């Protein structure tokens, strides 16, 4: 049994299938871990959702910002954007089943045997791993409860930018969602920057640092697998592995086999306008 990790799919289902075939992925025995943003911008978001859901316990996916936005759109909280190409999901006969499944996916997942955790954007430099798990569980519980519409209605916004253990209610939840699904850069004091989407070399301000380059008061003790940041074109150091290599933007999709570090890549056409 092998464990495969992949970056943002964003509806690029055919590219995912190509890589899984190239890697000789066996859906009965192998595990597939997906870093979130299953949907949007690519041509086959519906097929992607159906496939990942159909893998059952052999697939683990975390929620990305586009996945949460889909839930908001489907519930009339946000408007459909034609560039997201999610209308087939909204029109599908199994729409409610797929959305209900998506709503129950985690923000943070830890592998039971291997020393890694996965979150779509990463883990706030202001958190230790115990805090990250606790904050994820609280938002996940709300998202899976009867209060999920309230959460979807109020999750949008860039603040608070700084973590405070005294945060409560929607401010606590919004910080958690932003850290797990939207974070790229931080300021030296740990404040989140929600605006810059460039690579570190292109950042407008020298004060901005990638979240994974900020020192932590307590090491996480596990490698963090993340996606979300296409401009990085992948990143790996002793603490993190970034797997979003910009498939939907015409770059490539990357699949990593954990056991031996083997990487499988596919050049992709430009899907996103």
User: 3-267 has which CATH code?
Assistant: 3.60.21.10
Average pLDDT over residues 182-203: 95
Please report the pLDDT score of residue 273 as a whole number: 67
Digit-coded pLDDT (tens) for 72-111: 999 999 999 899 999 999 999 999 999 999 999 999 999 9
Quick one: pLDDT band at residue 218, thresholds 50, 70, 90? Answer: confident
Tell me the C-alpha distance between 269 and 102, whole Å: 27
Digit-coded pLDDT (tens) for 121-166: 999 999 999 999 999 999 999 999 999 999 999 999 999 999 999 9
Tell me the C-alpha distance between 110 and 206, whole Å: 33
Please report the pLDDT score of residue 204 as a whole number: 81
Please report the pLDDT score of residue 206 as a whole number: 87
Q: Under DSSP, is residue 77 helix (H, G, I), strand (E, B) or coil?
A: coil
- Mean pLDDT across the chain, nearest whole number? 96
Domain ranges in the chain? Answer: 3-267
Distance of CA 31 to the CA centre of its chain: 17
Tell me the C-alpha distance between 271 and 166, whole Å: 43
Say if CB 231 and CB 198 are below 8 A apart: yes
Count CB-CB contacts under 10 A for residue 215. Answer: 8
Average pLDDT over residues 200-214: 93
Average pLDDT over residues 53-71: 98
Quick one: pLDDT band at residue 4, thresholds 50, 70, 90? Answer: very high
Average pLDDT over residues 162-172: 97
Token pair of 121 as six digits = 């954007």
């Amino acid at each position: 049994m092998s464990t495969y990790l992949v970056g943002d799919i964003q509806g690029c289902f055919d590219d995912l299938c190509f890589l899984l075939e190239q890697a000789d992925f066996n859906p009965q025995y192998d595990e597939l871990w997906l870093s979130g943003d299953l949907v949007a911008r690519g041509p086959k978001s519906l097929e992607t959702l159906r496939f990942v859901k159909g893998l059952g316990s052999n697939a683990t996916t975390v929620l990305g910002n586009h996945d949460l936005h889909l839930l908001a759109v489907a519930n009339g909280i946000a408007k459909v954007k034609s560039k997201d190409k999610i209308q087939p999901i909204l029109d599908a006969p199994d729409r409610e089943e797929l959305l209900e499944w998506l709503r129950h996916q985690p923000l943070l997942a830890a592998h039971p045997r291997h020393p890694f955790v996965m979150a779509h954007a990463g883990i706030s430099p202001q958190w230790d791993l115990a805090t990250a798990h606790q904050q994820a569980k609280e938002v996940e519980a709300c998202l899976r409860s009867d209060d999920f519409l309230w959460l979807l209605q109020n999750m949008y916004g860039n603040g608070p930018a700084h973590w405070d253990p005294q945060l409560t209610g929607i401010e606590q939840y919004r910080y958690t969602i932003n850290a797990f699904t939207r974070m790229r850069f931080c300021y030296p004091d740990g404040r989140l920057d929600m605006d810059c989407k460039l690579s570190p070399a292109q950042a407008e301000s020298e004060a901005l640092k990638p979240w994974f380059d900020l020192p932590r008061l307590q090491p996480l003790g596990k490698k963090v697998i993340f996606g979300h940041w296409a401009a990085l074109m992948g990143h790996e150091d002793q603490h993190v592995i970034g797997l979003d290599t910009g498939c939907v933007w015409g770059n490539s999709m990357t699949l990593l086999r954990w056991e031996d570090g083997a990487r499988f890549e596919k050049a992709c056409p430009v899907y996103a306008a």
